[in-house]
Amino acid sequence: MEKTIAIIRGDGIGPEIVGEALGVLDAVAKKFGHKFIYKEAPMGGNAIDQFGVPLPEESLKTCLASDGVLLGAVGGPKWDAQPPENRPEKGLLKLRNGLGVYANLRPAKMFPAISAACPLRKDIAERGIDFIVVRELIGGVYFGEHKTETRDNERVATDVMSYSEHEIRRIAHVAFQTAKGRRKKVTSVDKANVLTTSRLWREIVEGVAKEYPDVELNHMYVDNAAMQLVKDPGQFDVIVTENMFGDILSDEASQITGSIGMIPSASLGQPGRPGLYEPIHGSAPDIAGQDKANPIGTILAAAYLLRYSLGMEAEARAIEDAVSAVLDEGWRTGDIAQTGEKVIGCREMGRLIRERI
Ligand code: IPM
Ligand code: MG
- Residue 69 DSSP SS3: strand
pLDDT the model gives residue 112: 81
pLDDT tier at 146, thresholds 50, 70, 90: very high
CA contacts within 13 A on the Cβ side of 81: 1
What tens digit of pLDDT does each residue of 232-289 get?
999 999 999 999 999 999 999 999 998 889 999 999 999 999 999 999 999 999 999 9
- CATH number among 3.40.50.261, 3.40.718.10, 3.40.710.10, 2.40.50.430, domain 119-256: 3.40.718.10
pLDDT the model gives residue 259: 81
What tens digit of pLDDT does each residue of 217-236 get?
999 999 999 999 999 999 99
- pTM across the whole model: 0.94
| Residues, CB-to-ion distance under 5 Å, ligand 2 | 247
Q: What percent of the chain has pLDDT over 70?
A: 100
Instruction: Decide if 1-115+260-357 and 119-256 have a common fold.
Output: yes
Q: Which helix (H) or strand (E) holds 150?
A: strand 146-151
Residue 294 has pLDDT above 90, yes or no: yes
Q: CA nearest 105: which of 273, 340, 342, 304?
A: 304
Known active-site residue 335: no
Known active-site residue 223: yes
- Lowest-pLDDT range, 101-115, 174-188, 217-231? 101-115
| Cβ–Cβ < 8 Å for 42, 75 | no
Those residues whose C-beta lies under 8 Å from the C-beta of residue 154, and which sit 6 or more positions away, are: none
What tens digit of pLDDT does each residue of 33-87 get?
999 999 999 999 999 999 999 999 999 999 999 999 999 999 999 999 999 899 9
Distance CA 19, CA 120 (A): 33
Choose the residue to mutate in 43, 92, 102 for probing ligand 1, maximizing ligand atoms within 8 Å of C-beta: 92
Q: Please tell me if the CB atom of residue 247 comes closer than 6 angstroms to any atom of ligand 1.
A: yes
Q: What residue ranges do the domains of the chain occupy?
A: 1-115+260-357, 119-256
pLDDT the model gives residue 25: 98
Residue 198 has pLDDT above 90, yes or no: yes
Please compute the mean of the pLDDT values over residues 287-294 and round it to a whole number.
Answer: 97
Known active-site residue 308: no
pLDDT tier at 128, thresholds 50, 70, 90: confident
Residue 4 has pLDDT above 90, yes or no: yes
CA angle 221, 227, 231 (to 5 degrees): 130
pLDDT tier at 113, thresholds 50, 70, 90: confident
pLDDT the model gives residue 127: 84
pLDDT the model gives residue 205: 98
Cβ atoms within 10 Å, residue 101: 22
pLDDT the model gives residue 71: 98
CATH class of 1-115+260-357: alpha beta
Residue 114 has pLDDT above 90, yes or no: no
Q: What is the mean pLDDT of the chain?
A: 96
Q: Which helix (H) or strand (E) holds 241?
A: strand 238-241
Q: How far is the CA of 27 from the centre of ligand 2 (A)?
A: 30
Which ligand 1 atom lies nearest to the CA of residue 73? 6
